[in-house]
Structure 1
Amino acid sequence: MFGIPVRIRTAALEITGDKEATGVRTAEVKSNGEIVQKRERVVDADFVCVAGGLTPLAELASIIGCSFKYIPELGGHVPLHNEQMQTNVPNLYVAGNITGIESAKVAMARGKWRV
């Protein structure tokens, strides 16, 4: 959003700078949280925002028999759905973070009714 990069599967190891942020040292992480040492890098930055632990909220769809697929890039198990957001359960449509952790802009777009 607004041209600001979002890094998934990335851990912030250190925010550099003395009295203000000048960058962040990052590393790629595996799905189990293990740091990939050879994938460390320092990114120049004057502002750092860290988020973590996001998981699609899919319990209700799971309970009523919705089919799922594990997609690590989207935050875990997400319900299978077609382009109209319809699942294999009759009359069950999905939108928002249940379809995968993405930006708010993507979630809002998916939630709009299309005829």
Structure 2
Amino acid sequence: MALGIRVFEFLPKEGTPYPFVVMGDTHLLPQATKTHLYGRCTTTLHLWADPNNRKQVSDMIGNIMAEASRIKQIERTQWSMIISESDSQILKDNSTSESLYHGLLHLYFRFL
């Protein structure tokens, strides 16, 4: 996605400036026919911002959801986001020495 948001596979080193996104878990529920594989997929994204920027997390969630909803094909597989099942939360997080906003974004897709 070309949103200008830094994305990491794992939590970055302490001191990494906010905001950033960390890829969370992905869960596949495949079903097979004789000739095709289809099913559902969910992935979780964790968004982090400093405590003075709740709106930034909210805007990042909205922008990522809008961009993800445009995904129609990856390689030879057709994808469609299930917008009605995708959801988000914004939590106050005090697991570090500074308070943060932690956004959770759960994206659900169908693939054919």
TM-score when normalising by structure 2? 0.28
Q: Larger Rg: 1 or 2?
A: 1
TM-score when normalising by structure 1? 0.28
Looking at secondary structure, tell me which structure has more strand per residue. Answer: 2
Q: Which has the higher contact order (CA 8 A, sep 6+)?
A: 2
